[in-house]
A and B are shown apart, each in its own frame.
Chain A
Amino acid sequence: KNEVEQSPQNLTAQEGEFITINCSYSVGISALHWLQQHPGGGIVSLFMLSSGKKKHGRLIATINIQEKHSSLHITASHPRDSAVYICAVPETSGSRLTFGEGTQLTVNP
């Protein structure tokens, strides 16, 4: 079983700040997922990455396969970024994902 740890569990920031959320896992993987869960409950897939870096608007995801670590960065944070951010990695069998416990981000105006 692939163990996933996210940090921090809770994060409060002021609008405009640079945000970093971290995810570590225990077993080598083919791809890592970052998800966003809105306050209303819906879940959106933000990134799926297997190496390097991906960028989408103000969101940047990086992964270091050797160190088994990924980060999600948000530049120029905005209150609408307030959500729970979840990372997920495949289990060793590859047929299912293991989810982190999520990071609750609150961005204040």
Chain B
Amino acid sequence: DTAVSQTPKYLVTQMGNDKSIKCEQNLGHDTMYWYKQDSKKFLKIMFSYNNKELIINETVPNRFSPKSPDKAHLNLHINSLELGDSAVYFCASSPFVQGSDSPLHFGNGTRLTVT
């Protein structure tokens, strides 16, 4: 059973389109995250939800909107896609809020390519 699953694995789309990436975890964790990994493999947090409540909202364009219908799901919707949005997006979860002694479990990533 996959602990953190995100779909799709690959997403190729044109500029200006709207797309969503879905994430689900079956670990019973309270906290979920979206990370963006750029072409240099550098990971940067975008959002974090704890029990469906937004707790981290980094300085990302408001074209990016996370939605957490329940604590097992955290989806990422992106409006008006731009070339610079091309990256790998990782979903992750942890038992409680990151930063303390809270191990992270990552999904396999979604490679988004905007043409």
Chain A residues engaging chain B, CB cutoff 8 angstroms: 30-31, 33, 35, 37, 40-45, 48, 50, 84, 86, 88, 90-91, 93-97, 99, 101-102, 104
Which listed residue (B43, B90, B98, B108) contacts A95, Cβ 8 A? Answer: B98
Q: Which 9 A-B pairs have the closest CB atoms?
A: A90-B99, A94-B99, A43-B106, A99-B43, A42-B108, A41-B109, A31-B101, A48-B103, A102-B41
Count contacts between A and B, CB distance < 8 Å. 65
For B, the interface residue count at a CB cutoff of 8 angstroms equals 25
A94 B100 Cβ-Cβ under 8 A: yes
B98 A41 Cβ-Cβ under 8 A: no
Shortest Cβ distance from A33 into B: residue: B104
A37, B40: Cα distance in complex, Å:
13
Contacts of B44 in A (CB 8 A): 99
Which listed residue (A40, A42, A96, A104) contacts B45, Cβ 8 A? Answer: A96
Contacts of B97 in A (CB 8 A): 95
A84, B42: Cα distance in complex, Å:
11
Contacts of B102 in A (CB 8 A): 48
A93 B106 Cβ-Cβ under 8 A: no
Given the known interface contacts A95-B56, A96-B98, A101-B42, the answer about A42 and B103 at a Cβ–Cβ threshold of 8 Å is: no
